[in-house]
């Protein structure tokens, strides 16, 4: 750290993104990316017309994207905030609504606490139940900013819309953020609740079900007053938060919904097959609703499995910690990717 770093940031522990090693070609099952490429329409949308316009700033209002999203979601454009990845929407939401303190589960997306620390807000966690589920009653009447990933990560387990509603209804003095990064792969969206409550904000991403992790586009949906607050932060930091090429790409991907629905169906099928294969090998497999599988075997610890798989050219994630250390989290890739993964797992277990 330099001698010039502002003291309010000097003790910040930043988020560590999933590894992206360049030493050889890996089967990458570690960062929940989509194994399928964007649609041809999206590739064409980043065509010469957009490239030749790179001398011009992009549309700061993201109007093309808001238009297709509002039609798809059945909400007004004033209900939508477009962001640079959903991480940006989450970060801005914590800035806007986290002053009274922030609460989230003890096992969830690791970035939430970093957003809180960066904003200088206090945060606390509520333990998941023994089976990794969330007990909604733990979150009632807190009246702080609550963040629930639904489905949750890395468990992959989802809460019902009714359970989310109970949390939103009993926290009228605090905002509830529902992080729906994985909702297209399963679970029930809380979207209908935005017309009923003014304290719910839903965040979503193009990184997973729209094959655009490299494009960095996300969005938040909520009451227009909440959206206006997010815009205050955007126009105070980076008004052109989505670049011209990715704005065109994200807009086209909503138009090409049919293609993405097909990819999602394929991923869900592969996920179920992978779950079954792992169970046959004696793994305990959590009933994930996402594009990743969270599973453990009593034969090999999570970190050891990760290391052995890496030697075999397959990247996955493990999560050090008392309750998560035995587990591995494996992104659902293509069928051939998952066949290679299962073969590698069999070999590792046979060696034991
Ligand atoms: N929420 C959850 C639960 C995630 O796992 C991720 C990314 N891994 C994000 C949000 C952020 O995604 P992005 O910024 O790519 O939209």
CATH class of 27-37+258-351: alpha beta
Confidence of residue 23 (pLDDT cuts 50, 70, 90): confident
- In the chain, where are the structural domains located? 27-37+258-351, 40-255
Virtual CA dihedral for 240, 18, 145, 7, nearest 10 degrees?
A: -80
**Residue 27, burial from CB neighbour count under 10 angstroms (0-12, 13-18, 19+):** buried
Residues contacting 202, CB < 8 A, separation 6+? 177, 178, 180, 189, 190, 191, 194, 220, 221, 222
Question: How far away, in angstroms, is 16 Cα from ligand 1 center?
Answer: 13
Instruction: Identify which of 87, 104, 152 to mutate to test ligand 1's pocket (most ligand atoms within 8 A of the CB).
Output: 87
pLDDT (0 to 100) of residue 24: 82
In the predicted structure, residue 19 carries a pLDDT above the cut 90 = no
Check: CB of residue 194 under 8 Å from CB of residue 221. Answer: yes
Q: What is the pLDDT of residues 282-310, one digit of tens each?
A: 999 999 999 999 999 999 999 999 999 99
CATH 3.40.640.10 assigned to 40-255: yes
Q: Does residue 88 line the site of ligand 1, with CB under 6 A?
A: no
Q: What is the pLDDT of residues 181-233, one digit of tens each?
A: 999 999 999 999 999 999 999 999 999 999 999 999 999 999 999 999 999 99
Q: What percent of the chain has pLDDT above 70?
A: 100
In the predicted structure, residue 154 carries a pLDDT above the cut 80 = yes
Q: What is the pLDDT of residues 252-265, one digit of tens each?
A: 999 999 999 999 99
Query: How many angstroms separate the CA atoms of 114 and 123, rounded?
Result: 10
Displacement of CA 123 from its chain's centroid (Å):
20
In the predicted structure, residue 27 carries a pLDDT above the cut 80 = yes
121-126 mean pLDDT = 98
- Specify the range with the lowest mean pLDDT, choosing from 45-49, 213-217, 237-241: 45-49
Q: Does residue 112 line the site of ligand 1, with CB under 6 A?
A: no
């Amino acid at each position: 750290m330099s001698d010039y770093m502002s003291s309010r940031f000097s003790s910040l522990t930043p988020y560590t993104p999933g590894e992206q090693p360049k030493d050889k070609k890996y089967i990458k099952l570690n960062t929940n990316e989509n194994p399928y490429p964007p649609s041809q329409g999206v590739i064409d949308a980043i065509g010469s017309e957009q490239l030749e316009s790179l001398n011009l700033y992009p549309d700061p209002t993201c109007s093309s994207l808001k238009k297709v999203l509002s039609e798809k979601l059945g909400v007004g454009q004033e209900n939508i905030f477009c962001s640079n990845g959903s991480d940006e929407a989450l970060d801005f939401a914590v800035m806007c609504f986290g002053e009274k303190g922030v609460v989230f589960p003890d096992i969830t997306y690791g970035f939430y606490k970093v957003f809180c620390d960066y904003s200088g807000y206090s945060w606390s966690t509520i333990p998941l139940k023994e089976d990794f589920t969330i007990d909604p009653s733990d979150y009632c009447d807190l009246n702080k900013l609550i963040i629930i990933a639904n489905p949750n990560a890395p468990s992959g387990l989802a809460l019902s819309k009714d359970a989310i509603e109970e949390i939103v209804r009993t926290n009228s003095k605090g905002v509830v953020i529902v992080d729906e990064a994985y909702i297209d792969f399963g679970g029930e969206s809380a979207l209908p609740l935005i017309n009923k409550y003014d304290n719910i904000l839903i965040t979503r991403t193009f990184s997973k079900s729209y094959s655009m992790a490299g494009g960095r586009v996300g969005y938040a949906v909520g009451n227009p007053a909440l959206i206006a607050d997010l815009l205050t932060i955007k126009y105070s930091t980076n008004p052109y938060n989505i670049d011209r090429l990715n704005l065109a790409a994200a807009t086209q991907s909503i138009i090409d919904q049919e293609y993405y629905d097909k990819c999602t169906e394929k991923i869900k099928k592969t996920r179920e097959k992978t779950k079954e294969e792992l169970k046959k090998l004696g793994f305990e497999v959590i009933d994930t609703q996402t594009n990743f599988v969270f599973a453990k075997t009593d034969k090999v610890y999570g970190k050891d499995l990760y290391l052995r798989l890496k030697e075999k050219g397959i990247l996955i994630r493990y999560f050090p910690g008392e309750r998560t250390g035995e587990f591995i989290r494996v992104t659902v890739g293509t069928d051939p990717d998952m066949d290679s993964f299962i073969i590698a797992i069999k070999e590792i277990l046979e060696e034991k």
